[in-house]
């Protein structure tokens, strides 16, 4: 009996061990399967999150590039440079920068070939832009004629951090900038910057470059329209206003003067003995005299809001806003002296000219344009009859 009991006990122990072993083996296998399933779930969750991010990014990209149609429509609505500049900066600042940081639009000055700050959009309204002719980043874009992306200025070896800090009153960490180029004609630069590092991506830069491509065509058309409009109201020889444009401005000033009780004066100038210069030195010399006189008048009155016109031949007219007869007389006489003292070289000979000036004021002498011109014209002929080189 004891042997049978021992055998039975051993058998039971073996059975229990077998069953336990099998249980733990299955449990381990299940745990491995659960871990595998959990890993797959984690991978799927990660893929789902990434797909959602990609979906959002794709939707943003689609929305952003759909806005290009709106950009084309907007900048084609008006050829005015102010409108085009406002539209470009507004689109770049809102679509790319989310109205954060700073957006700057620089245009090239055709005479100096320097950058000039044309339009700005700023998160902080009171922010002062110190570099009105551009900084080292803008000069880089100008020199290379290619877009620029900076994720963190402090880690970018291309630029001197000391110079950057010296040029700016505002902190800059990240930046994207693109040239405005139309058929190899460099028109300007559109740029976004922010104090936060790594704010802009390659996709942001690509979109900015696309906006600039569209904007460059609009700006070139706008500049061409501006030049055409400018030629229509400016005398080709002297670059002063034409008679037609001047008469429009004079009539507007007269109406404004009557409605708002505003005073102004009209000067009419005529070059003394102008025919003698043509006879002695030739008609080309006459053109030199007219251009010299135009520059003298423009320089003398540059700090005022005067309107200067070539009225015909060797006659010129000037509107002096907010000047009564007494103040206008003083200005006219100072101008007369300035003209007389200005040296002109004609065929290697030094000479000078004098002018006779007639003056009439609103409302002292007249209240309508035609009458004001007539009074100034009579005063000018009076100056000639009294010996020339004087103001009447």
Residue 166 has a pLDDT of 65
For the stretch 286-334, pLDDT in tens is: 889 999 999 999 999 988 889 999 998 899 999 999 999 999 999 999 9
Stated length of the chain: 392
For the stretch 269-292, pLDDT in tens is: 999 998 888 778 777 888 899 999
Residue 354 has a pLDDT of 94
CA 45 to chain centre: 48
Categorize the per-residue pLDDT at 31 as very low, low, confident or very high, splitting at 50, 70 and 90: confident
Torsion sign, CA atoms 76, 82, 85, 90: negative
pLDDT value at 55 more than 70: no
Give me 313's structure tokens.
Answer: 């031949």
For the stretch 121-176, pLDDT in tens is: 998 877 778 888 888 899 999 999 999 999 998 888 888 777 666 666 678 899 99
Residue 222 has a pLDDT of 80
Residue 121's φ and ψ, nearest 5 degrees, are -130, 130
Q: How far is Cα 107 from Cα 91, in angstroms, rounded to an integer? A: 17
Looking at the chain, list the stretches that DSSP marks H as alpha helix, in order from N- to C-terminal side. Answer: 2-75, 81-95, 136-144, 161-167, 202-233, 243-260, 274-281, 283-300, 325-341, 369-385
Residue 102 has a pLDDT of 94
Residue 388 DSSP symbol: S
Residue 61 has a pLDDT of 63
Residue 354 DSSP symbol: -
- Taking residue 313's Cβ as centre, other Cβ atoms within 10 Å add up to 11
Q: Which domains does the chain have, with CATH numbers?
A: 74-231 (3.30.450.40), 243-385 (3.30.70.270)
The answer, as to whether pTM is greater than 0.75, is no
Residue labelled with tokens 């001047």: 246
Q: How far is Cα 254 from Cα 372, in angstroms, rounded to an integer? A: 9
Residue 117's φ and ψ, nearest 5 degrees, are -65, 120
How many Å from the N-terminal Cα to the C-terminal Cα in the chain?
A: 154
């Amino acid at each position: 009996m004891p042997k049978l009991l021992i055998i039975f006990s051993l058998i039971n122990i073996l059975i229990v061990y077998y069953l336990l072993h099998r249980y733990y083996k299955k449990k381990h296998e299940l745990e491995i399967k659960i871990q595998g399933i959990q890993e797959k779930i984690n991978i799927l969750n990660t893929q789902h999150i990434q797909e959602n991010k990609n979906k959002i990014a794709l939707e943003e990209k689609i929305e952003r590039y759909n806005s290009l149609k709106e950009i084309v429509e907007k900048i084609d609505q008006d050829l005015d440079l102010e409108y085009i500049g406002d539209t470009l900066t507004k689109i770049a600042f809102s679509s790319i920068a989310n109205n954060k940081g700073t957006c700057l639009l620089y245009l090239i000055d055709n005479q100096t070939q320097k950058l000039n700050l044309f339009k700005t959009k700023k998160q902080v309204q009171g922010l002062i832009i110190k570099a009105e002719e551009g900084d080292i980043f803008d000069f880089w874009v100008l020199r290379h004629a290619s877009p620029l992306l900076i994720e963190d200025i402090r880690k970018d070896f291309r630029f001197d951090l000391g110079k950057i800090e010296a040029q700016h009153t505002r902190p800059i960490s990240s930046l994207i900038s693109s040239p405005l180029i139309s058929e190899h004609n460099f028109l300007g630069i559109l740029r976004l910057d922010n104090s936060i590092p790594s704010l802009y991506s390659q996709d942001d830069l690509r979109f900015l470059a696309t906006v600039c491509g569209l904007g460059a065509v609009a700006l070139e058309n706008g500049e061409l329209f501006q030049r055409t409009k400018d030629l229509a109201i400016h005398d080709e020889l002297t670059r002063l206003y034409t008679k037609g444009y001047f008469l429009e401005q004079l009539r507007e000033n007269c109406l404004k003067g009557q409605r708002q009780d505003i005073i102004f004066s009209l000067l009419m100038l005529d070059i003394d003995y102008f025919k003698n210069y043509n006879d002695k030195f030739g008609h080309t010399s006459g053109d030199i005299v007219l251009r010299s006189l135009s520059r003298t008048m423009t320089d003398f009155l540059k700090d005022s809001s005067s309107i200067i016109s070539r009225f015909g031949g060797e006659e010129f007219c000037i509107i002096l806003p907010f000047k009564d007869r007494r103040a206008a007389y003083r200005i006219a006489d100072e101008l007369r002296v300035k003209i007389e003292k200005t040296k002109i070289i004609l065929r290697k000979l030094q000479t000078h000219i004098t002018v006779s000036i007639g003056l009439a004021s609103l409302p002292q002498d007249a209240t309508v344009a035609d009458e004001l011109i007539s009074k100034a014209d009579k005063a000018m002929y009076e100056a000639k009859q009294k010996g020339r080189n004087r103001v009447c």
